[in-house]
Amino acid sequence: MTLEVRVPQLPESVADATLVVWHKKVGEAVARDENLADLETDKVVLEVPAPASGVIKSLDKTAGTTVTSGELLAVIDEQTAGAAPKAPAKAEPGKPTEGRKPSAATTSAAAAPKKEDAAGKLSPAARRMVEENRLSAGEIAGSGRDGRISKSDVAHHLEAAPASQARQPASGARVDQRVPMSRLRARIAQRLVEAQATQALLTTFNEVDMQALIALRARYKEPFEKRHGVRLGFMSFFAKACVEALRRFPVVNASVEGGDIVYHEYYDLGVAVSTDRGLIVPVLRDADRMDFASIEKAVTGFAERARAGTITIEELTGGTFSITNGGVFGSLMSTPIVNAPQSAILGMHKIQDRPVVVDGQVVVRPMMYIALTYDHRIIDGREAVQFLVAVKESLEDPARLLLQV
């Protein structure tokens, strides 16, 4: 009995996908639910599980092909599921096996991993890194499932390799490398250009004295982690501060549809997460109903699943307002771009000790610049500035978040 493996049903927001890599070849055995291939959409990488155990009879699409929902990918022969290659007879001690003795070349070839097999176990980000550094995938140890090679595995290989083994271009050579954009990177580029072209974007800045918030976090982070099982970070405070500011200035939580302004009476906050494949923005649904622990757990879960490539498209869809934190990479100040069709985004930045004037005295305080980029078509400067001031006040006096004042 043969079974067809087809492209899974893609969500409405995703028209097609790219077949990135096959993990099996024709004639190879496969177990039920084992990953056969990776499909890359403009948001996530999807795995194609085997519907049953058997042997791959045919692969009907090649790597790099664009596919749509329902298209035939492969055929599995379920009848040969139990067939296993016959094991060679064991040689008695001191007695050579019958038949021709394998040559040294054959023995070394069998012992060495095949380059094609190793290349098939590369994640998309690792594949690009291998190509950019002109490495051999067979020389890299994979830490993932079934020996899959991740970007971090390639980075560790590069760090461990002696400088003499580094593959350098010939002396004086001028080398260009042309690497096609991943679907995610291409989609990010498209959306950013569309946002710049269709919205009247403007950015306003302010700065936050983080001393009270840092002291509060230091005081309660251990009991918080002990009780809730998650670390207390700054993102939950910023999320709560933004929700309170959005309540006061609902137009910042609105969006433009044609000639209408749509005021969203719920607060779905997008939280930007950096991955090997690019920046994605999973969404905290009904953030106003979440407590600090729920926000921290959700954000931590997003980050883990995003970097593992298991985050769902539903988690990346929607959102009424976004927060991005460039401070984790050392950014002191930036102008984030709105994630359309949203109308505003808050940018967090690096906390840095700076001299400031407090009560007529120059003191050193941990300061953070915050930025609000907004669509000036519907959000006036007064509302944008007041929104940012409201966020600043909540963070400088965290008791406001508890009392909602």
Structure-token match 């940012």, residue found? 388
Q: How far apart are CA 329 and CA 325, in angstroms?
A: 8
Q: Which two tokens stand for residue 17?
A: 């996908």
Residue 41's CB: how many other CB atoms inside 10 A? 20
Judge whether 23 counts as a catalytic residue: no
Amino acid identity at 336: P
Contact 88, 97 (CB under 8 A): yes
Judge whether 380 counts as a catalytic residue: yes
- If we measure between CA atoms, which residue out of 300, 281, 298 comes closest to residue 290? 298
- If we measure between CA atoms, which residue out of 198, 143, 134 comes closest to residue 166? 134
Write down the H helix ranges in 67-150.
104-111, 115-120, 124-132
| Of 33, 286, 291, 380, catalytic | 380
Edge-to-edge strands of the sheet including 29-30? 2-6, 72-77, 54-59, 29-30
Run of H or E residues at 122: none
Sorted by sequence, the CB contacts under 8 Å of residue 231 that are 6+ apart come out as 221, 224, 225, 296, 300
Q: How far apart are CA 290 and CA 298, in angstroms?
A: 10
| Of 156, 228, 264, 376, catalytic | 376
> What secondary structure does DSSP assign to 30-47, as a single string?
E-TT-EEEEEE-SS-EEE
Contact 260, 294 (CB under 8 A): no
Contact 239, 324 (CB under 8 A): no
Contact 208, 367 (CB under 8 A): yes
Residues marked as catalytic: 376, 380
